[in-house]
Amino acid sequence: MKKQVMALLATFSMAVSLFAYNPPYSGENLYQIANPELLAGAANASGGATFTIVPGSIAFNPALTALEQRTVLNVSYTALIDSNRASADDSAYGQAFQIGTIIPTKWLVFTGVMQGTFTNFPRMDLGNSLDFHLGASKNVTDKLYVGLNAYTGLYLGDTFDYTVGADFGALYFFDDMAFLKTPRLGLALVNLGKPLTKYTNALGLDGTSDGVSYPGFITPRASFSATLFKVQKVSCAFTSELYFPSCQNAVCGVGLGFAYADIVTLSVGWEANVRELVSNSTSISWPSVGLGFKFAINSSGISKANADWAQSEVIPSAAWQNLHNGIQAISAGARLDLGMKDTTAPEIILWDEE
């Protein structure tokens, strides 16, 4: 048995070593910069501090959408502004957008998301790309949820390249632990496939375009989140995550989330990327800050035949982060949850009394 395990680990190490690890700055954050809720700390395997789920969440753990009971529509846009250009000829503006939907059915929850990223900063050259994720998730028990994704992407620069692969994930809810309420553990193995390897203009962490590859090929993620306290209508939760891009780097993330009456949320998140810090200590990102509001709306006109959609919720949100070296990310978006959550237990009648 030990020989088999050692052989498996050796094979895994060889597969990972086939890909050089030299991503551009923020290359590991490619799928989170386009959405304000992901930018503000929800981009991890347990859904962030306040368990904020958007279609783009499946890039971090495909199991996260399994708890969704309502059809979700989401659109967001991020402006990337270089406020510290080294030369007047350098790009001053980049952008990213994300469009997605979550569709629950009787057996599975399906999710689809498209993201476009267009940045050519000398110090954060992510290039021009379109990415597509399709996922399915399901509950195994009342505490365990699983999911998987398939994804592909097209990268357009001086050369053409593509990415294709799959993600797997699981989410488990524990019983309350002392003062920790609704604790949950998210585990995921993402980016199992071909990463971007031919975008020759991109400069990696070592300052060259040699061996540029991103997002990280084979990335294990583990995240733990829980609510710390709830007093009156105010609650506070935390999240933490550790992931290993290409198994050649380590990134640690933490975050706090505050909510008032489940209507207003304030989120703060921060990540430390070991390879980026070693490469350039001035590249450290600032904490991200995000704010969201929830409004009930009358949506009966969307489907007059479906009384369950008579009232829905819209959640506009915004976030900001100084990524590094003066590159500002300003993001805004809105999520539409069609219908209301089903919070009424089924009524079971054993016999009728006349």
Band of residue 101 on the pLDDT scale cut at 50, 70, 90: very high
Instruction: Reply yes or no on whether the pLDDT at 220 is more than 80.
Output: yes
Q: Give the per-residue pLDDT at 33.
A: 94
Q: Quick check: 296 and 284 in contact, CB under 8 A?
A: no
Instruction: Reply yes or no on whether the pLDDT at 186 is more than 90.
Output: yes
Band of residue 183 on the pLDDT scale cut at 50, 70, 90: very high
Instruction: Reply yes or no on whether the pLDDT at 306 is more than 60.
Output: no
Instruction: Reply yes or no on whether the pLDDT at 207 is more than 50.
Output: yes
pLDDT digits (tens, 9 = 90+) for 27-47: 888 999 999 999 999 999 999
- Rounded Cα gap, residues 81 and 79, in angstroms: 6
User: Residue 86 corresponds to which tokens in the numbers above?
Assistant: 């080294």
Query: Against a cut of 0.95, is the pTM above it?
Result: no
Percent of the chain with pLDDT over 70: 83
Instruction: Reply yes or no on whether the pLDDT at 216 is more than 50.
Output: yes
Q: Give the per-residue pLDDT at 199.
A: 63
The greatest distance separating any two alpha carbons of the chain, rounded to the nearest whole angstrom, comes to: 86
Specify burial of residue 206 (Cβ count, 10 A radius: 0-12, 13-18, 19+): middle
Q: Give the per-residue pLDDT at 265.
A: 96
State the chain's mean pLDDT as an integer: 86
Q: Give the per-residue pLDDT at 24.
A: 85
pLDDT digits (tens, 9 = 90+) for 130-154: 999 999 999 999 999 999 999 999 8
Q: Quick check: 53 and 337 in contact, CB under 8 A?
A: no
Q: What's the CA angle centered on 69, arms 105 and 223, to 5 degrees?
A: 110
Amino acid, single-letter form, for residue 189: L
Band of residue 348 on the pLDDT scale cut at 50, 70, 90: low
pLDDT digits (tens, 9 = 90+) for 245-302: 999 999 999 999 999 988 999 999 999 999 888 877 556 778 999 999 998 887 555 5
Q: Give the per-residue pLDDT at 125.
A: 83
Residue 39 C-alpha from the chain's centroid: 8
Instruction: Reply yes or no on whether the pLDDT at 90 is more than 80.
Output: no
Highest mean pLDDT among 61-65, 204-208, 243-247, 326-330: 61-65
